[in-house]
Every structure is written in C-alpha cells, then in structure tokens.
Structure 1
Amino acid sequence: MNDHPLPNLRNQLLRLHKLLMDAERAVYETEGNVTLSPLQLLQLLTEHERFAWLRQLSQLVVTIDEAEAEKPPITLERMDALVGEARHLLMGSEEPGSFAVRYAEARGRDATVAAAHAEISKSFE
C-alpha cells in the first residue's frame, strides 16, 4: 500500500490549495487595490463567495486525512475512490463556475499553479 498515490496526492493537494489561495489573493488585492492582512484573508477564505470554490479543495484534503486515520486502516478501494474524487474535482466538470473551470482559469494565469497541476496529474496515471 506504500506505493499508492493517495498520501503523496494529499500533500500535493495541500500545496495546491496554498498556491491557489495565494493566486486568488493576488488577483483580489490587485482588483481592489488593497493589501490583505492574514486575518482579512482568513475571513475572505471562510466567508466570501469569491473564495468559496477553494473550500471544496480544503474539504477534500480533510476527507483524505479522516480516511487515512480510520480504524481499521483505509482500504485500497477507498484510496482509489479518493483519488477519483480528486481527479473529478480538478478536471471533471466543464460547468461554468465549477471548481474544475475555476482551476483551469487559475492554471492559465499562474505558471506555479500549472506546474503543480503537472505534478498532481502524475497521481492520476
């Protein structure tokens, strides 16, 4: 089970979440000509509709953490299902406003996000 992609994917998703938060923060600050404090950013992340799409990614990381902590140990089937959930979240929808569409836009704007996506995609092969 050590060669299953889920543990590494979880870490990659967490890093991706940070990159996306930073990218969205930069766009928000530029558009509003403001500089957000860490507390203001946290409030926006948890309450503002503009950042709501990022909550889906943070919830997936929490779900993976909870599954990995389950007793008895997580099954291969459950790990495969979580990898599938991640794949679907990142790339599975073309519906306007969906996470996958917003994520594709972020990849197009930010080379760091695009590079992180290239790494994550290896977990789906």
Structure 2
Amino acid sequence: MNDHPLPTLRNQLLSLHKQLMNTERTAYEAAGNVIQSPMQFLQLLMEHERFAWLRQLSQLVVMMDEAMEEKPPITKERMDALVAEAKHLLTGSEEPGSFAVRYAKAREHASAVAAAHVEIIKSLG
C-alpha cells in the first residue's frame, strides 16, 4: 500500500474539502447570511441545499477511510477503484450542478482550491 496513491489522495481530498467548505461559507456569508457558531455551520453542512454538493466529497473520504481500515487489508483493485471514483467526482461530469462543475467554478474563484487541485491531479496520475 505504501506505493499506492490512495493514502496521500485521501489526505489531499480531506484538505480540499476543508478549503471548499471555507469557500462556500464565505460566499454564504457574503450573501448576507450569518453563521453564529460552529454547530450552526455543521448543521448547514449536513442539511442546507447550498452545501449539499460537498457531501459527495466527504462521503468519498469516509469510504476511503473505511476501506483502508478493512481486515484483511484492502486490495489494490479496491484502492484503484476508489482513486478512479475520486477522479470521476472531481473531473468526470459536465452536467450542470454536478460536483465536477461546481468544483471547476470553485477552482476559478479560489486560488487555494486551484493549488490543491494541481496536487491532487499529480496523485491521480
């Protein structure tokens, strides 16, 4: 597993998720909404439509975590499938409103997201 990109990719996706949450939070607040506490923000992340697209990324990170903890150890095929799923999530859809399209817009507007994307693409190979 040491030479497989999955553990590194998982960490990169988790970091990307945090950056995307911050970007969405900033835009949400710029629209005149007030987030008064971390608990309120967590509730918005879990329930509000504006943040729904981010849930796909958090679910993928959880799937990776669970797979890497499996006994017996995760197979190379399963790791490859998770990497392919990440690639598809990030870049595999032109459909309006899809994660890939929303993510492309976020990359255009946030340099930190664009920089994280470059590193993730290197991991994806």
Q: The TM-score by the shorter chain falls in which range? A: over 0.9
Following superposition of structure 1 onto structure 2, how do residues 44-63 of structure 1 map, counting pairs within 5 Å?
44-63=44-63
Structure-1 residue corresponding to 2:113:
113
Structure-2 residue corresponding to 1:30:
30
State the TM-score, normalizing by the size of structure 1: 0.97
Unaligned runs of 5+ in 1: none
Q: What SS does the aligned partner of 1:32 have?
A: coil
Q: CA deviation at 1:39?
A: 1.4
State the TM-score, normalizing by the size of structure 2: 0.97
Structure-2 residue corresponding to 1:124:
124
Aligned residues: 125
Q: Structure 1, residues 80-123: CA drift from partner, whole Å, max 9, x if none? A: 00000000000000000000000000000100000000000001
Structure-1 residue corresponding to 2:2:
2
Structure 1 stretches of at least 4 aligned residues deviating more than 4 Å after TM superposition:
none
Q: What SS does the aligned partner of 2:3 have?
A: coil
The one-letter code of the counterpart of 2:45 is: L
The one-letter code of the counterpart of 2:17 is: H
The one-letter code of the counterpart of 1:37 is: S
Task: Give the conservation status (yes or no) of the 8 Å contact 2:9–2:124.
Answer: no
Structure-2 residue corresponding to 1:64:
64
Q: Distance in 2 between matches of 1:87 and 1:113?
A: 16
Once the two structures are aligned, what percentage of the paired residues are identical?
74
Q: CA deviation at 1:124?
A: 1.4
Q: Distance in 2 between matches of 1:101 and 1:46?
A: 20
Structure-2 residue corresponding to 1:12:
12
Structure-2 residue corresponding to 1:92:
92
Q: CA deviation at 1:35?
A: 4.3
Q: CA deviation at 1:34?
A: 2.7
Structure-2 residue corresponding to 1:76:
76
**CA RMSD across the alignment:** 0.9
Task: Give the conservation status (yes or no) of the 8 Å contact 1:83–1:124.
Answer: yes
Q: Distance in 2 between matches of 1:64 and 1:35?
A: 30
